[in-house]
Amino acid sequence: MSVRQVLLGAVCTQDRTSVRPGHGDELPYLGLEGIESGSGQFVESDLSKTPEVPQANSFRFDERHVLYGKLRPYLNKVALPTKPGKCSTEIIPLLPSSQCDRQYLSFFLRAPSTVQQITGRSAGARMPRADMDFVLSLPITLPALDGQRRIVDLLSRAEGIVRLRRQAQQKAAALIPAIFVDMFGDPATNPKGWSRMALGDLIASGPTNGLYKHKSAYGSGTPILRIDAFYDGRVTDLAALKRVQVEPDEQRRYALSAGDIIVNRVNSPEYLGKSALVPELLEPTVFESNMMRFSIDALHALPEFVIALLQNPSTRRHFLTNAKHAINQSSINQQDVKSLPVFAPPLKLQRQFAQRVAAVRAIEQQQQAATSKATATFSALLAKAFTAASPEVQHEAERALA
């Protein structure tokens, strides 16, 4: 396979065909938020279906282009449109020449080494932007077109596996809310007529606010649970928790136990009330001040039931209704949590639910392991493909995908 190295600008140009406000209204408009970070996909799988009327100039594009997000290039926003449209001027339509396959160019722009180089030369502290002259000066390894397409095929297959794995994960995650509603009904309407009460009636201890430490105390010491360590009701990775220096009495006072529930009390509105069930811990662990902790009275409810109930949209509405809003953040207090309307079906039914949740979690773990393996394979192939686009890379990719 013939391989040569050229400057990107030799096989790709910026197509800044401008569309003035009030013109091209038939074209769907794409903002930078419409491109997913790192995935090469649009947020809603395609361009916005309702044309918008931008108040400034935009760029025209079509299915020949590669769309490159120059604002905050570390977000790695690159996508391939399938129909004509117009986009924010923070998105540059790149037009590859006949020597460069469009998909090959998009993979090159998404490769870790490319992102790293462009990010390192970005201008602007708060809102860095890619230097497009520098981008076009980057060397790109360019096989003949048939070689480019073979590499694209291999990378597309690897990324397709990642996408399928993630879809399987999403389907598994959706099972728990579906099981909850099937067994207990929607908490907002309570169609099965369970007796109503406040969450405070089910709490054995707490809520208690967490530990505040200056940033200088972080780096080593005791693991601390923070807002970025849990999603969808569970802690994602105990081994990855940040660490903080604490006094012995602080460690005792703010210690977490398996079965505790933590609720985020201070954050932007979309994260307010975010909650998780504390799993079995690897070592003594504390929790941060922007959340609160409580435990459940085992005579009336199971933590697995309560944490599922807290993921329901009605819980979010309760917290947002009661939130206190400031300029940069919102907050809820302990009474807002204790006053949350809930129900408590018989413990026998809750135990059946907990068993079904455990089975789903086991499936999720399998799916997570498979996704991690597929992602690692794709990332390694993407990193190597543009280091040396050679037959050796193709053979390695084929073995990895076999």
For CA atoms 232, 76, 141, 117, give the dihedral sign.
Answer: negative
**Measured CA distances, 311 to 23, 45, 95, 204, 327 (Å):** 45, 26, 45, 20, 26
Would you state the structure tokens that stand for residue 373, as one six-digit string?
A: 């393996």
Q: Please, are residues 295 and 252 in contact by the beta-carbon 8 Å criterion? A: no
Confidence (pLDDT) at 90: 92
Average model confidence (pLDDT) for the chain?
A: 86
Region class of 193: left (phi > 0), else alpha (psi between -120 and 50), else beta: left
Task: Supply the DSSP symbol for 64.
Answer: T
Confidence (pLDDT) at 364: 84
Q: Which residues pair with 14 in a beta bridge?
A: 94
Nearest to 215 by CA among 265, 289, 274: 289
Q: Please, are residues 159 and 40 in contact by the beta-carbon 8 Å criterion? A: yes
Q: Which domains does the chain have, with CATH numbers?
A: 3-143 (3.90.220.20), 195-344 (3.90.220.20)
How confident is the model over 376-391, as a mean pLDDT? 74
Nearest to 105 by CA among 6, 7, 12: 12
How confident is the model over 94-98, as a mean pLDDT? 95
DSSP one-letter string for 67-110? EEE-BSGGG--EE--SS-EEE-TTEEEEEE-TTS-HHHHHHHHH
The CA distance from 64 to 56, in Å, is 24
The CA distance from 70 to 77, in Å, is 8
pLDDT tens column, 202-251:
999 989 999 998 989 898 999 999 888 888 888 888 888 899 999 999 99
Confidence (pLDDT) at 324: 87
The CA distance from 155 to 133, in Å, is 27
Is the pTM of the predicted complex or chain greater than 0.75?
Answer: no
Percent of the chain's residues with pLDDT above 70: 91
Which span out of 58-67, 118-127, 268-277, 308-317 was modeled with the highest average pLDDT? Answer: 58-67
Of the pLDDT bands very low, low, confident and very high (cuts 50, 70, 90), residue 393 is very low
The CA distance from 65 to 71, in Å, is 18
Q: Please, are residues 114 and 66 in contact by the beta-carbon 8 Å criterion? A: no
How confident is the model over 118-145, as a mean pLDDT? 87
pLDDT tens column, 22-69:
776 778 889 888 898 888 888 864 455 445 556 778 899 999 999 999
pLDDT tens column, 336-380:
999 999 998 999 999 999 999 999 888 888 888 888 888 888 888
Of the pLDDT bands very low, low, confident and very high (cuts 50, 70, 90), residue 12 is very high
Confidence (pLDDT) at 303: 94
pLDDT at 392 over 50: no
